[in-house]
Structure 1
């Protein structure tokens, strides 16, 4: 399997090179040349464990990793999860909840970043050299990435987060990791600012190469690949319970990486009749799928801070397929968007339904599910549930809502909704932990100087 850039100005490369490259040299994002058709394998895969299913899917894409090595990487990555299922599916009311928060940092990002951290280490052991990871986070990516590579030899990690715009627990999870190879940067700006800084620095190919920079953000193809697995796993578990021939997925969405994995899974043969895209008040993506217009607004702070995003870094991958894999047309669209902050796409994609769950609705859903079902939703998952309920139909097709984080990561929102704080012993232990973080200006030169001084 070879990988190409969405913008078409890069020679095809193998999986391991794609992992180390992160963002393509032409500014595009990497995708496989072709997606495999796995529809005929579904019945064979339906009874596999999560780890074995991950191997079957990933081996189609990571063709330059020996099978035995890939199995070891997968087993090592998911041995850190607190549930033997990795991603259990729980029936709650009329919905199914796919719990993706059983990893080390209690967020869905662990599913991909535990694997990616081990993959980076594997590649460096094979090839030598070092890797300096530069990432941007709206909350959960940072801590999951840090836990994925903390203490690993020949790897440094630099994570930028928007100062004061993550939850206190999310910030402590990042800044309480004191390993020598971990650097936290609180940027005086929004997540979109952090993401822009990262992309601009990566676009300087000489600087990127000279300082061995790599990416853990969902611009890294391995992240998206790892996330496709749990869509298939959830389908199989729901099918076992209901006998359904297809399901729907509701995905709380900010940076479009999680729902992109679902989109690619459908292109590969996943029997999903609808992908329900759920945003909070930062609704650039739900507006796009309802109107065709992708236009930047002002970032609004909400109870679901990981979704407080306007410019979704993975959206370019989707637009590549939406334009019929026309790299030239896509490059023109992205240039237009960069200059004007807006782009319009004609027509509709019937696979998607989209809606917004605002703060009032988020709190109402958390309260109702706690009272009626004794189940506590984190605010991001609550947005997904709120929107999913609007698209329930009489067709009796099960809906799976992706639960992206443990509610204790957002205990203030839970207490506001229910009157009772949410707890988890892992997070409670951080209350008095020593922390380390550097505040930095929203300035590319300042970030470059910081990197050079620490590498």
Structure 2
């Protein structure tokens, strides 16, 4: 399997070189040169597999011999052996048409663990195999940071620096990152928004000389390994429904996906292109609804930043959006390069009517207002005795708006509600923290507040790496 850049100025890469490059050296994002196509027979056979077995089959398609199967199996088993639920990503039924895919049973109680436990182990494997230094640089709107740190803390040959927006993540998210005192971990609390953190990351990775001098590697969803790992649970959820619910049979199902950076829903789009019979991909956003506007109007333009009760989606510029543009424009790298140059110069992209029609065939979208998010939490808690975190609540609210009567919809539950107790308490709901989270409040924190400039971050990196 080879990987190419959305902007076409990088020679095809193998899997390991692709995950080490992270952001393509021409500023684009890496994608598979060819998307594997799965037959109906293969899908039927995969229904019988456990989550780790399914992950092994899917990863095997994208690594294609670069990692021996027995070594890849060990990476997969080590990654998902840390999860609290034997199914890794269990599917919970709330009603005959409403299901929740719980993605929060990993070490940090967030869906990011599913990709980052694997990527952390993969980086450790590559470091040992190549005797190389790996310096990970990432940005987080809350969950990526803790998951990434947990995936590599204490690992020999790896150092990690995570940027997060100062005082713009939940308290539990902050504690999960900043109570780690391992020597190979640095937390920088950046004065600004997540978009500022993400911009700094992309610009530092675009500085190829700096990236190579300091051995920088990506942990954010600009890294293609993140996307590939996230496709697995779309397949697994569909198979659980097809296997356990006779009413579904071979029919297609909807997935409602809370998303800010477009990575999680792009993984669903990739699964669909591989052959998974998904009906609708419902894109759920909050009041930072640039993606909703794009799906509805064909205009991609950041608006005014709004702090919400679902802070992990408080994002204006979605880092994975360029990958979708690549496929929307028929894998035309020149068209993508022109569009991204236009976005950099003018701050907006407007697509023609024929492309908008294609977008609306791929996605439905709904932006959830702040109070609507809280109302969904309290409503579902009252009706089903099931507690949603605010991001999952956005997914449920979008599904309620956009799923046709009688359609089965799976909403991706991206985090345990304990991570966002500040929002949940606004509706008078009391919850008990899991023991691992409760213990965080007794630990000292280790972080440094820094300015939101490239130079300020570079100074910290030079001293740390």
TM bucket, shorter chain: over 0.9
Other structure's SS at 1:179 match? coil
Deviation at 1:425, TM superposition (A): 1.4
**Which residue in the other structure is 1:107 paired with?**
110
**Which residue in the other structure is 1:365 paired with?**
376
Correspondence 1:217-232 to 2 at 5 A: 217-232=220-235
The reply on whether 1:150 has 2:160 as its aligned counterpart is no
The reply on whether 1:332 has 2:343 as its aligned counterpart is no
Given that residues 8 and 328 in structure 1 are in contact (C-alpha distance below 8 angstroms), is that contact kept between their aligned partners in structure 2? Answer: yes
Deviation at 1:432, TM superposition (A): 1.4
Deviation at 1:415, TM superposition (A): 1.2
**Which residue in the other structure is 1:285 paired with?**
291
Deviation at 1:46, TM superposition (A): 0.6
The reply on whether 1:436 has 2:438 as its aligned counterpart is no
Deviation at 1:416, TM superposition (A): 1.0
Which residue, 231, 235, 245 being the options, matches 1:242? 245
Deviations 1:207-247 (A, max 9, x none): 10011000000000000000000000000111123332211
**Which residue in the other structure is 1:10 paired with?**
10
**Which residue in the other structure is 1:313 paired with?**
319
Deviation at 1:121, TM superposition (A): 0.3
The reply on whether 1:174 has 2:180 as its aligned counterpart is no
Given that residues 101 and 237 in structure 2 are in contact (C-alpha distance below 8 angstroms), is that contact kept between their aligned partners in structure 1? Answer: yes
**Which residue in the other structure is 2:67 paired with?**
65
Deviation at 1:81, TM superposition (A): 0.2
Deviation at 1:392, TM superposition (A): 2.6
- Give structure 1 stretches of 5+ with no counterpart: none
Which residue, 85, 88, 109 being the options, matches 2:87? 85
**Which residue in the other structure is 2:398 paired with?**
387
Residue correspondences, number: 454
Deviation at 1:422, TM superposition (A): 4.7
**Which residue in the other structure is 1:402 paired with?**
412
Other structure's SS at 2:442 match? coil
Distance in 1 between the 2:429 and 2:389 partners?
A: 14
Distance in 1 between the 2:403 and 2:134 partners?
A: 46
Distance in 2 between the 1:397 and 1:235 partners?
A: 14
The reply on whether 1:272 has 2:282 as its aligned counterpart is no
Given that residues 50 and 233 in structure 1 are in contact (C-alpha distance below 8 angstroms), is that contact kept between their aligned partners in structure 2? Answer: yes
The reply on whether 1:95 has 2:98 as its aligned counterpart is yes
**Which residue in the other structure is 1:126 paired with?**
129
- Give structure 2 stretches of 5+ with no counterpart: none
Deviations 1:285-341 (A, max 9, x none): 011001100001121100000000000000000000001101001001001111111
Other structure's SS at 1:442 match? coil
TM-score normalised by the chain length of structure 1: 0.99
Distance in 2 between the 1:241 and 1:131 partners?
A: 43
Deviations 1:400-432 (A, max 9, x none): 000000000001111112432452211111011
The reply on whether 1:295 has 2:305 as its aligned counterpart is no
Given that residues 415 and 422 in structure 1 are in contact (C-alpha distance below 8 angstroms), is that contact kept between their aligned partners in structure 2? Answer: no
Deviations 1:134-186 (A, max 9, x none): 10000000000000000000100000000010001100000001100000000
The reply on whether 1:21 has 2:21 as its aligned counterpart is yes
The reply on whether 1:31 has 2:34 as its aligned counterpart is no
TM-score normalised by the chain length of structure 2: 0.97
Given that residues 179 and 446 in structure 2 are in contact (C-alpha distance below 8 angstroms), is that contact kept between their aligned partners in structure 1? Answer: yes
